[in-house]
Structure 1
Amino acid sequence: MSFDPMAVAIDWLDAYRAGDIEAILDMYAEDAVVHCGCGDVKTITGREALRAHWVDRLRDYPAGKLDDLNPSHDGTVISYITSTGVMTALFAFDAAGRIKELNCGPSH
C-alpha cells in the first residue's frame, strides 16, 4: 500500500471541515459509491450526484472536530462531530488511495 489510509481519512475530514467541495470530490475514485445513512438512507454514485450530496452536507451538516479514528480490515473508520451529533464514516480505498466506497451515518 503506497498511501496511509488513516491520513486520507483525516485529509477528508479536514476538507469537509473547510467546506472545500473540490478537494472532497478529488478524493473519490471515478467509480466511487457512497452509502449515506443520514436521514433518508441513500446510495450515491457519479461525480454530479456526489457534488449535489456534498453541497447539501456542507450546508446542512458542517463537520466539527474529530471524535475517533481507527484502522479497519479494508480501510479506515473515522467519527466526527456535526450539529446533529456524532457521525461515523467507514472508508474503503482503491490502490491509488482514492475513496472507492464510503459508508456513513450516525454513530450508535
Structure 2
Amino acid sequence: MSFDLMAAAIDWLDAYRSGDIEAILRMCADDAAVHCGCGGAKTITGKEGLRAYWVERLREYPAFDLDNIQPTCVGTLISYVSRDGVVSAVLTFNASGQIASLAFGPSKDSSERGPA
C-alpha cells in the first residue's frame, strides 16, 4: 500500500475524538464492516448501518487519549482511552486506503488500568 497505515489510524481516532461522523464515513469503503465486541458482539455494514452505529457509539462510548498504536500483519492496532477503560481497534484498509474493516473490543489489560 502506498499510504501510511499509522497516519490513517490516527486520522480515524482524531475524527472519532472530535465526533465527526462524516469524516469517519468518508474514511470507510462502501463495503466496510465494523465488528464490535463492546456490549455484545455485532457486525455492522452499509453506510446507513455505519451511520447509525457511529451516532450511538459517539454518544455512549466517546474516545479520549491515544493509548498505543502499532502496525499488524493486516493493518493497524490502535488503543485509546474511553470512559470505560482502554479499547483496542484493528483497522484494515483496502488498496485505495479506505477502512475495509474495523474490529473493536476491550484491551486485554484494560481492567488493570481502570476506568478513564
TM-score, normalized by the shorter chain, greater than 0.5: yes
Partners of 1:63 and 1:96 in 2: CA distance: 26
Amino acid at match of 1:25: L
Query: What is the CA distance between 1:2 and its match in structure 2?
Result: 1.5
Letter in 2 for 1:59: R
| Counterparts of residues 1-108 of structure 1 (less than 5 Å) | 1-108=1-108
Residues 25-64 of structure 1: CA distance to partner in whole angstroms, max 9, x if unpaired? 1110000111000101100000000000000011011100
TM-score by length of 1: 0.98
Q: Which has the larger radius of gyration?
A: 2
SS in 2 for 1:50: helix
The percent identity for this pair of structures is 63
Aligned amino acid, residue 51 of structure 1:
R
Structure 2 SS opposite 1:2:
coil
Give me the whole-angstrom Cα distance separating, in 1, the residues matched to 2:6 and 2:46. 24
- Taking the aligned partners of 2:60 and 2:70, their CA distance within structure 1 comes to 26
- C-alpha root-mean-square deviation of aligned residues, in Å? 0.6
Matched residues in 2 for 1:60 and 1:67: separation?
19
After TM superposition, the runs of 4+ consecutive aligned structure 1 residues lying more than 3 A away are: none
Partner letter of residue 72 of structure 1? T
Structure 2: stretches of 5+ with no match in the other structure: 109-116
Aligned length: 108
